[in-house]
Amino acid sequence: MFEFLAEKTIQILESLNIISKNRAIYKFRIEILISILVEILLIMIIGFILDCFFEALIYNVIFLVLRKYTGGYRCITHLGNISTYVAFFGLYLIMKDYFNFSTVVLCIIILIIEGIIVYLSPVQSNNRILNELEQKKYHLCSITLSILISITCLILKLLNNSLYTILIYSFSLVAVLMVGEKVIDKIELLNYID
């Protein structure tokens, strides 16, 4: 479905003389864009139906903005990405009552996440190779955004606003996906050496 929609979009752009070369790159990027739009739309629909619109919005923003700079594990297929994205949000909805942490525990979790982001970001994959200048820029953006998220999370907790739970959940998930991609890279490297 994504490939078909991307192909039709490319044909339209070519007929309008908007693109003339690098067809495969444009098509791949359009497939990713369609996949991301489907993910966002599904989460927002679920959030609207289950009366957790702001949680859905925060989840989407954290993943779209922070993961752009941190990187992390992504499934091989668009359907896999969408399924995982929606499943993780569903897991939050099921378990959100258990995310009521004390301020001390929340600070410890934030410090662990910050450590992961400072140490690992940006996590590169085969689809995203950054030059040295881009790596520095992405690293700085990752740290800056993570500090802003951490401060926001703590403020929400101190104000007894339950939205801090989706913020810390999404933030934690980004860190876990970063570690996951690094582990997969190491396994692939070990398999390549053998």
Cα–Cα distance for residue pair 42/108, rounded to 1 Å: 32
pLDDT at 17: 79
3-state secondary structure the chain: CHHHHHHHHHHHHHHCCCCCCCHHHHHHHHHHHHHHHHHHHHHHHHHHHCCCHHHHHHHHHHHHHHHHHHCCCCCCCHHHHHHHHHHHHHHHHHHHHHCCCCHHHHHHHHHHHHHHHHHHCCCCECCECCCHHHHHHHHHHHHHHHHHHHHHHHHHHHCCCCCHHHHHHHHHHHHHHHHHHHHHHHHHHHHHHC
pLDDT at 12: 81
pTM over 0.95: no
Spatial CB neighbours of 92, under 8 Å, sequence gap ≥ 6: 55, 59, 99, 165, 166, 169, 170
> Domain residue spans in the chain?
53-193
pLDDT at 194: 61
- pLDDT tens, per residue, the chain with 194 residues: 778 887 888 888 778 877 778 778 788 888 888 888 999 999 999 999 999 999 999 999 998 899 889 987 777 787 888 899 899 999 999 998 888 889 999 999 999 999 999 999 998 776 667 889 999 999 999 999 999 999 999 999 999 999 999 999 999 999 999 998 888 878 877 777 76
Cα–Cα distance for residue pair 69/72, rounded to 1 Å: 9
